[in-house]
Structures are given as structure tokens and as C-alpha cells.
Structure 1
């Protein structure tokens, strides 16, 4: 997105369809509730959350007080206090998740899967951490132990996110894959952590071929030159994770609410989906290397 106006128009058009559909599906308890409209509309609030990640700010407080309140008063004339804005953020959870479903990429037959750790506190503070005590768990990756969640992702050859799943940090990378791969086709490339006979068979039943490197004690499996080249370039998804964490700021340890953690995560993912410069596989070069 090149401008704030384009971003707001995209989100506002989405909210015009999403909010009435959501109202029709909400369950009634019979208890009358006040439905006061806030100064910020849902589309304005979502625009601010996504803009925060697009502008690469490190803290939402400095973004809101220093940038938004000083420079965007004309665009957002009814800005509430910072504390009130933070209280409103949980309203964005469902809309941001639905917006990702609209913006996500499509399977093109070449998919790459992996999972990354989303730490919610420093390891030295695990014992006294309370915000995510009921949901976060200790997990271990090749980089060491962490406390938090895992983001399981599948991308296509254009670097677009096509599937996402958030689990506790102690969940095996392979466990969510059968459900996550529903509707995909072609070939799925992954690392050795996804080696499992049951997973290969489950994906075969979905017409999806799982291709991973082999361990030293395993029998050789015939691979085409094209498959070998793609396997060497499956680190593309690590580049996507790097952009999500270091540019879109989906990971930090200052959360005080589970809902606001989800808002921060999904807003960063939406900001990535709207990015024009995603890391991609150069399939022309891949084909030339495969023929060499």
C-alpha cells in the first residue's frame, strides 16, 4: 500500500461487508446491552493497527502519541486517549483474522511449510510471568528454549502466506499439518522436522506430496533436479519469518493482554500481506538450474 488513504479505503470497504455479517451471526443472550459507538470506527482502529506495522514503529505507545496524535489529527479527528485506544483494540481480533483470509495468497502447486517461535517473555522471567500463564508453553527450536507460542505457516512460491495456525510452544510442528494443508495441491517442501510416515500418508490422501531432506540413516529417495533445487531454497520461508518478526514486529515481550497479543500478531501479518516487496522464488532460474 502506497498511502494511508488506500489502506483505509481497503479496510473500510471490508468492514462495510464484515460488520453486518458478524451482527447476523452473533448469539443473543436476552440481556439488553448498550451499543454505544466509539469515537474511532472499527475501520479507523484497524487502519491504525496495520499502519503501526507498516511504518516499522517498535512501540505502539510512541506510534500513537508521537506520530498519530501529532500528525494524523486531520485524518482521525476523533482520536481517544491512548489508554482508551488500547481498550478498544480487542475489537479488531475477529475482523483482522477475516481480513487475512481475504488477503492471503493462493496455492500454486509449490508450497513451503515451517514453524517459528513467538516468545512472550525472556526465559529468565518465565517463573513470574502471568499474562499468558494459561496459554503459553515452553518449547524448543534449533535456536534453543523459549516460552510462548508457535506460528505454523505455509507459503507459496511468491512468498505469500496461504495458511497459518497458532499453537502453544510445546506442540510438535507436524501435528497441525493435516488440517493446515486442507485444500492444497502439488508439492509441499519442508525440513527434516516434518519427517513422519503418518504425515506423508495423510498428505498423500489429500493429493499433496511431502518432500523433505533425508536423514543419514534413511534409504535414498529419487528426486528430480527441480525438487532438489527447491529443497535447497526452502529457506525462503525463513526470510518471510524474518520480515514478520523484524519488520512487521509480530513478536515482542511487552504484551499485557492475550487479545492485544492476537491483534498485534494479525495486524503484522496483514501488513506483510499488503507489502509489495515479498521474498519470492525465481522459478525461471530454478528451471534453468534444474536443466543444467
Structure 2
């Protein structure tokens, strides 16, 4: 599949899903209709996110330069109008992502993986003077880089074999044990976590809700059974690291250009929508679910 085919495929399925998402209701009750249709804007966002164009200016310039024949009204549109229209569609992205996740993608809802990834909003040296997300962001520890950062932590739950099913954005100082019940709300079955999820009180609370939280034992004097299962759980749980790597490297998750939570939420939702659509396209062709490199030859 080349890039032209990928754009056409995304537009076709997004345009086909719009009536089911809107359920016969109109998005705009009054005023003039936008020059670009909502399906075109969502397609540009999904494809641009896949290509790593995380800034609206770069995204708009790319499609104006290379794909004006696909979007003929693009040259008449101002950048601020495009950004506003895209951000106002955040609820449509959320419903579309949930609809693809629940109705189209095949995954096991009883087997999940939960973990979090740091999302810094600025460089650490600028944090005391940063006015973005003031009152929302906080200081936290990035255990992978072994350093302190200022921003948020994105908590995700994956459904086997790699579908993003739930997400929650929390300040960086919130421990994973307090956010895990929010991410796992409404789910059942077995959930795999990291060593930070080995919390007996949390596991007992989730067990009462029908959830079995399995995490590698983090103490040297672990019981024999827990010590035996820890490497196995670690190898299976590394699947979420693959997803985090795709969101970080391809989609530049850790480069936050948004200035408020509204635009940041919109960006995260289009990440989820892009990733879930690509997983579904791979399922349609009976290919590995997380093989995202194939869409651009």
C-alpha cells in the first residue's frame, strides 16, 4: 500500500462511519458549512499523525503541497480555521475511536495490559516559568530515563493483541495505583501490569470487581510461584512497550505543542483513532496487528 491508497482508504472508512457516529444528528445547527468536510479534516489528521506531522502548520503545508488534488478546498482555508475545526471534532474522534474499538476490531476484552508513559510539556529547566497547563501539570519521575520531568502521565489499557481500549491523562505526580481503577473501570478478566502495580491492597480491591491484576513481584524474597511467573509476565507485558514506542517515535507523543488541555485531549484522541484504525486495517489483511510500517511504501 502506498500513501495515496492509505489516504483514500482512511477517507472512505471515516466517511462511511460518520452517519453511524452522528446517529442522524447534525453537528452544526446554524451558520455556514465549512469549506472542508469533517471527513476530510479527520482524514488529514489521521494520516498526518501517522506521518509524524504533529504540528498543524506542518500538516497543512504537507497536504497543500502534495495532495491539493485530493482536497481541492484546502487552498481557500486559513490555518486557524482548520485548527479550530479539527479541535471542535474531538468528541467525534472519541466516539469514532470507541466505535472502531467495540464494533470492528477483534480483540480479547478479558485480557489486558496496563501501564503509563510520561508526557512532558516543556523542558525541565523551563518548568518554573512555564505558563502552559499551570494547575494541571506536575512534577514526576521518568523511570526509563531516570530523571524528573514536568507534565503528565498517559495511562493506557491495551486489549490483546494490542488494541488501545482505555486512556487516562493524569498529572505526573499521581501514582499508578490510584489511576489504575479509573483506567480499568468497566472491564473484567486478567490485567497485566508492571512492577509498580504490585500493590496488594489494589489487587484485592480489583479482585472484588472481577479483575485479576497480575504484576511481576518486585522484592527479592518473592514466593516461589511469584518469582517463577515474573519473567513470563514481563515478556508478555512488553507488548505495551511496542505501542508506546509507536506513539512516541512515529507520532511524537512526548513533543507537546498544545497550550491547553482541550487541544492536548484532541491530539491524544487522534493518536488513539489512528492507531486503532491501523490495527483494524491489518486485521482485514490478516497481517500482524502492530505492523504499522506497511501503509507507506
TM-score, normalised to structure 1, is 0.82
Name the CA distance, whole Å, in 2 between partners of 1:154 and 1:56. Answer: 23
Out of 69, 78, 82, the position equivalent to 1:81 is 78
Out of 14, 17, 36, the position equivalent to 2:17 is 14
Q: Over residues 11-34 of structure 1, what are the superposed CA-to-partner deviations in whole Å (9 max), with x where a residue is unaligned?
A: 12222233356659x9xxxxxx85
Change (3 A) 1:151 1:221: farther
Helix, strand or coil at the partner of 1:126: helix
Name the CA distance, whole Å, in 1 between partners of 2:173 and 2:269. Answer: 21
Q: Over residues 70-98 of structure 1, what are the superposed CA-to-partner deviations in whole Å (9 max), with x where a residue is unaligned?
A: 22222212221223212222212111111
Out of 175, 178, 181, the position equivalent to 1:178 is 181
User: Residues 251 and 265 of structure 1 are in contact (CA less than 8 Å); yes or no, is this contact kept in structure 2?
Assistant: no
Q: What is the count of residue pairs matched by the alignment?
A: 272
- Residue 131 of structure 1 corresponds to 132
TM-superposed CA distance for 1:262, in Å, is: 1.8
Change (3 A) 1:71 1:215: closer
Name the CA distance, whole Å, in 2 between partners of 1:52 and 1:173. Answer: 31
Map of 1:133-282 to 2, 5 A cutoff? 133-142=134-143, 143=145, 144-216=147-219, 218-220=221-223, 222-223=225-226, 228-275=231-278, 276=282, 277-279=288-290
- Residue 34 of structure 2 corresponds to 38
- Residue 60 of structure 1 corresponds to 56
Helix, strand or coil at the partner of 1:109: strand
Name the CA distance, whole Å, in 2 between partners of 1:37 and 1:49. Answer: 19
Out of 40, 46, 51, the position equivalent to 1:50 is 46
Out of 61, 64, 70, the position equivalent to 1:69 is 64
Out of 91, 95, 111, the position equivalent to 2:92 is 95
- Residue 30 of structure 1 corresponds to none
Name the CA distance, whole Å, in 1 between partners of 2:229 and 2:199. Answer: 23
Helix, strand or coil at the partner of 1:114: strand
Helix, strand or coil at the partner of 1:175: helix
Give the ranges of 4+ consecutive aligned residues of structure 1 lying more than 6 Å apart after TM superposition.
Answer: 224-227
Any unmatched runs of 5+ in structure 1? 27-32, 281-292
Helix, strand or coil at the partner of 2:81: helix
Any unmatched runs of 5+ in structure 2? 283-287, 292-297
TM-superposed CA distance for 1:163, in Å, is: 1.8
Name the CA distance, whole Å, in 2 between partners of 1:278 and 1:148. Answer: 30
Name the CA distance, whole Å, in 1 between partners of 2:166 and 2:249. Answer: 20
TM-score, normalised to structure 2, is 0.81
Name the CA distance, whole Å, in 1 between partners of 2:24 and 2:228. Answer: 48
